[in-house]
Structure 1
Amino acid sequence: MQTDRIALRLRGNSEAMDLGLQLARANWLQMLPVISLGMIPIALLAALAAQWHAPLALLVIWLFKPSLDRPLLHLLSRDLLGMAGGTGWLWRQRAQWWPGLHLTSLTLFRFHPARSFTLPIWQLEGQTGQARRQRTRALGYGSAGSGLGLTLMASLFELVVVISLFALFGWLLPASIWEGLGAPGWFDPAGVHDHFWLSLAAAYAVAVLLVEPFYLGAGFGLYLNQRCRLECWDLEPALHRLAERAKARPA
């Protein structure tokens, strides 16, 4: 990968994550419709699961979060190359971002503590087996703690968004609506009411829409930084500019 859109140089982990956050912020308007469309089938699955047992709606949304990351990562990586397009373009490119340990990321690797950092290795590099494991270990050297901290911080921000939404709607909605939702009886000796779980799942879905693009972007920034550390990406753009200046210099 080569690009002149950002300065690819070795950074500290915090600065690398900040670079990824800036990438996500710059692409926010393109990422929001993508993740929103991706949330629709997940929300439908959550609604079906809630018909059987209401808390499962929350679990379904959490389980399928890695599926939302894949088109977002494809969008960010292609934007660095100046190749990004809209949602239609992204859908036509789905063969490039849908495979690549997708099922494994929803099962065995769902609890990976630094999944936003490892996803670019699985999805963009296309390695498998022992080569992928060695590559993950090599790129993870020196950044595992930052990847874990990023995951914990993203979870904390999701919690803040959920609490804020409950507080906001509790303040704005009249008491009659809350009573219609059965809010006074959400918690009783018989257990938690289904309406609470459904409201919590809806708030959590909104939190994922707001936080996940930036979580993915920060992890992508860590990945780029580790590539710089191992492969000296900063040399190639510099040599390219030197060659261009040499061509422009009169003989």
Structure 2
Amino acid sequence: MRVDAIAIDLRPRSMMEASDLGVRLVGANLRSVVRTGAPVAAVTLLLALSTIELAPWLPSLLLFWFKPWLDRTLLFVLARAVFGQPTTFTDLWNARREVWWSQLLPTLTRRRFSPWRSYVAPVHQLEGQRGAESRRRRDLILHGRRGVAFAMQWAFGWVELALLLGLTAFAFWFAPPERGGAWFMALFGEGRLESALTFAAYALAVCIAEPFFVGAGFAMYLNRRVELEAWDIEQEFRLAFAA
């Protein structure tokens, strides 16, 4: 990795401060995140919604299960943003083999319920190790940081839930006063329309929260590498000698 090409200020931070940096990284690169991630998310949501005939709850379950796979596109965009590179869908398409299909099975199985998923995802996606080497690297990145990584993931889980509840509450807020309760309860019915509305609310909550969740984990990962490898010092030396 060319440390001198990194376009953000890397220095030792607390892990919570680093997660805030990740949130701001997403905000600063929102255009690349949206134009690259939106087509992937749209296709995924449509495919998930197409299963509603099989079971009303299946689209939401599929979206929940495939979130780590969607995260890979977001991480690709943010990894390029760290080096000041904007991303288009063409860039993603050219790297689709590595981003979408590399390590697909573990991404959707044993890593799906990792309590620190976005924090260790860069190890698997960006560093390129396999097998025992990858596990050793993951354990090193996690050493002494499991608690804070879990806390960040737990916090974003509550953010997503709050968004979901807020979005479903619109059915009550904007309904006629005499029918507000009926409209709200309809969201929890078993019909296709009610299930589609519930899925739409969940999908919107995921689309809002997930980029920031991935960004927070990625920035915490970068902060850990600063701690382990003193990138901030190397950056200063490279810039000094370049001058």
* TM-score above 0.5, yes or no: yes
1:185 & 1:71 partners in 2: Cα distance? Answer: 34
Unmatched runs of 5 consecutive residues or more in structure 2: none
Distance 1:175 1:45, change over 3 A: farther
**Aligned-pair RMSD on alpha carbons?**
2.3
TM-score (norm 2): 0.90
Distance 1:176 1:55, change over 3 A: farther
Counterpart for residue 138 of structure 1: 140
Which structure has the greater CA radius of gyration? 1
2:128 & 2:179 partners in 1: Cα distance? Answer: 51
Give the C-alpha shift of residue 95 in structure 1.
Answer: 2.7
1:101 & 1:45 partners in 2: Cα distance? Answer: 21
Find out whether 1:227 has 2:225 as its counterpart: yes
2:151 & 2:240 partners in 1: Cα distance? Answer: 39
Offset from partner CA, 1:64-96 (integer Å, 9 cap, x none): 111111111111111112233322222222233
Query: Would you identify which runs of 4 or more consecutive aligned residues in structure 1 move more than 3 Å?
Result: 173-179, 181-187
Find out whether 1:193 has 2:190 as its counterpart: yes
Counterpart for residue 20 of structure 2: 18
Distance 1:4 1:47, change over 3 A: closer
Answer yes or no: is the 8 Å Cα contact 2:225–2:231 preserved in 1: yes
1:32 & 1:92 partners in 2: Cα distance? Answer: 18
AA aligned to 1:80 is: V
Offset from partner CA, 1:188-215 (integer Å, 9 cap, x none): xxxx423433322110100011000000
SS at the partner of 2:231?
coil
Distance 1:95 1:168, change over 3 A: same
Find out whether 1:216 has 2:214 as its counterpart: yes
Unmatched runs of 5 consecutive residues or more in structure 1: 246-251
TM-score (norm 1): 0.87
1:220 & 1:186 partners in 2: Cα distance? Answer: 35
Offset from partner CA, 1:106-135 (integer Å, 9 cap, x none): 112110011101110000001100000000
AA aligned to 1:193 is: E
Q: Give the length in aligned residue pairs.
A: 240
1:85 & 1:56 partners in 2: Cα distance? Answer: 32
Answer yes or no: is the 8 Å Cα contact 1:32–1:209 preserved in 2: no
Answer yes or no: is the 8 Å Cα contact 2:172–2:184 preserved in 1: no
Distance 1:186 1:227, change over 3 A: closer
